[in-house]
């Protein structure tokens, strides 16, 4: 196994790692299991007995709040794409922001609900034109409490909840000593409700909705596809929030290292932490995934190690395929992967 220290890797990366796409050339070396073993890697899942009950109750509680979707026209000076600044009620009725992009004159078109990488926000409408250019509607969903990391991908949605104990910077440990209060309970619920928003839009064909995302966005899409019956397909790129125990043991990159730093200062919380994470682990959602899924994995990805991705992919219960990027880091296939996804959905949804 090839390992580099965090100091050396961060020197090469130019700072602390993030889960957004990297520049090409940022990959390091093969460090995880060889590909032939990855294809068969099927670890046991740590699943709490009340996993399904927990999520059933969570979504039922959320349903008490009206979605209250609003779509305000947004002038982008684009002639072939209609853009709306959207707002809807997420977990707890909290307002969640999104962009809704439609091909000009859209009527009954398929829709991609897009989730965002760690630390980033929904950005600007011009960042998301590939979907409407291919004839799809796109609902690009902000992640609550994120989006102030860089000017390229600003966010517009807050999170009114914090923790009542010490936390590390970032959101990985926010509320982590109990699943009821954990940050990603709110995020996953927001994501499920975003699909309802897309399905209810008059220009969208509710039978042809895909969820998509990379890194954190891939983890959110993976969970949403398992929780939301209105999802017809999932595009899951280099997913984060998956196979937590292995991730923290083989990578010293953020955001997984937020968990390690927390446990280094709060070692008595280890049992509570991993119990909480078991309700949010992508392996448990993958085992409940029934719709067609297209995954991607990068074999030189130190942020979301390939074994964690293959673990989820191998547990996915529905039709599936995976694109393997042998020479890439966390950027995965980048634009090449998007072109594969466009062709995949064109065939699946019979568009074009």
Residues designated catalytic: 215, 301, 330
Q: Virtual CA dihedral for 216, 222, 227, 231, nearest 10 degrees?
A: 110
Q: Is 53 exposed, middle or buried (0-12, 13-18, 19+ CB in 10 A)?
A: exposed
Q: Which residues partner with 297 through β-bridges?
A: 324
3-state SS string over the chain?
CCCCCHHHHHHHHCCCCCCCCCCCCCCCCCCCCCHHHHCCCCCCCCCCCCHHHHHHHHHHHHHCCCCCCEEEECCCCCCCEEEEEEEEECHHHCEEEEEEEEECCCCCEEEEEECCCCCCCCCCHHHHCHHHHCCCEEEEECCCCCCCCCCCCCCCCCCCCCCCCCCCCCCCCCCCCCHHHCHHHHHHHHHHHHHHHHHCCCCEEEEEEEEEEECHHHHHHHHHHHHCCCCCEEEEECCCCCCHHHHHHHCCCCCHHHHHHHHHHCHHHHHHHHHHHHCCCHHHHHCCCCCCEEEEEECCCCCCCHHHHHHHHHHCCCCEEEEEECCCCCCCCHHHHHHHHHHHHHHHCCCC
**Smallest Cα–Cα separation from 225: which of 315, 157, 160, 304?**
315
∠ CA 169-239-268, nearest 5°, is: 45
Whole-number Å distance between alpha carbons of 161 and 186: 10
């Amino acid at each position: 196994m090839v390992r580099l220290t965090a100091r050396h890797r961060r020197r090469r990366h130019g700072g602390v790692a993030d889960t957004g796409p990297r520049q090409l050339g940022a990959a390091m070396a093969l460090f995880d299991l060889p590909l032939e073993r990855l294809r068969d890697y099927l670890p046991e899942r740590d699943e709490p007995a009340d996993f399904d009950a927990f999520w059933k109750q969570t979504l039922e509680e959320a349903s008490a709040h009206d979605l209250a979707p609003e779509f305000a026209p947004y002038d982008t000076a684009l002639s072939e794409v209609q853009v709306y600044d959207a707002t809807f009620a997420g977990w707890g009725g909290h307002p969640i922001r999104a962009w809704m992009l439609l091909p000009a004159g859209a009527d009954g078109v398929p829709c991609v609900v897009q989730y965002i990488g760690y630390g980033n926000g929904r950005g600007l409408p011009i960042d998301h034109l590939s979907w409407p250019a291919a004839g799809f509607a796109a609902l690009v969903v902000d992640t609550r409490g994120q989006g102030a990391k860089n000017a390229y991908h600003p966010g517009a949605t807050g999170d009114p909840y914090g923790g009542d104990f010490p936390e590390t910077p970032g959101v990985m440990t926010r509320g982590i000593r109990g699943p009821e209060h954990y940050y990603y309970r709110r995020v996953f619920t927001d994501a499920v409700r975003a699909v309802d928003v897309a399905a209810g839009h008059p220009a969208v064909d509710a039978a042809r909705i895909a969820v998509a995302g990379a890194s954190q966005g891939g983890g959110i899409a993976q969970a949403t596809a398992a929780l939301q019956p209105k999802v017809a397909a999932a595009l899951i790129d280099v997913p984060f929030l998956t196979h937590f125990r292995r991730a923290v043991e083989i990578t010293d990159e953020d955001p997984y290292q937020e968990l390690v730093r927390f446990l280094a200062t709060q070692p008595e919380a280890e049992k509570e932490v991993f119990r909480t994470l078991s309700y949010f682990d992508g392996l448990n959602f993958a085992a409940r995934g029934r719709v067609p899924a297209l995954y991607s994995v990068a074999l030189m990805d130190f942020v979301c190690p390939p074994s964690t991705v293959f673990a989820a992919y191998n547990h996915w219960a529905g039709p599936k395929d995976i694109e393997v990027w042998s020479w890439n880091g966390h950027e995965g296939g980048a634009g090449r992967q998007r072109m594969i996804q466009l062709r995949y959905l064109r065939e699946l949804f019979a568009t074009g």
